[in-house]
Amino acid sequence: MGTSTKLIANNKKAYHDYFIEEKYETGIALHGTEVKSLRMGKCSIKEAFVRIENGEVFIYGMHISPYEKGNIFNKDPLRVKKLFLHKSEINKMTGKIKEKGYTLVPLQVYFKDSLAKVEIGLARGKKLYDKRQDIAKKDQRREAEKEFKVKNLY
């Protein structure tokens, strides 16, 4: 029996701006209408970031649109949400973040079976020349695929 996953939101910008060193799967504390809104795919993590405060992990700037039929039960779309991690993982991350240049970024939000999960990455910021190198590699790969396609047509 395999586990089913349904992707809700992906943060492609994180892979462009950071080198992702490690990935962690975390649970997230949500209210009922937020879960219903997530099931409809109404979530954005483009501007989101993760912080560790008092030994707990929180995600800021994660936008979950209000549920249409939720009326008074709807919460603030940008409220701070708690992430669930083991204490040893939090301590390991805290040690890494104290090093220069490391940060925590959300990579994707998805449902694993029936549970909402957030994948966060321990990331190191890219410099401008690193980004240029990545773009150049992408262009080279695209050109090679294009030439391969043309060769296979004849």
Reported as a single tens digit per residue, the pLDDT across 123-144 is 887 777 667 877 888 888 888 8
The CA-based angle 87-84-53, given to 5 degrees, is 65
- The secondary structure of residue 29, as a DSSP letter, is -
Note the pLDDT tens digit of each residue in 78-118: 788 888 989 988 888 888 888 777 888 898 888 888 888 89
Average pLDDT of every residue of the chain: 82
Look at residue 153 in the predicted model and tell me its pLDDT.
65
What gap in Å lies between CA 21 and CA 93, rounded to an integer? 11
Confidence (pTM): 0.73
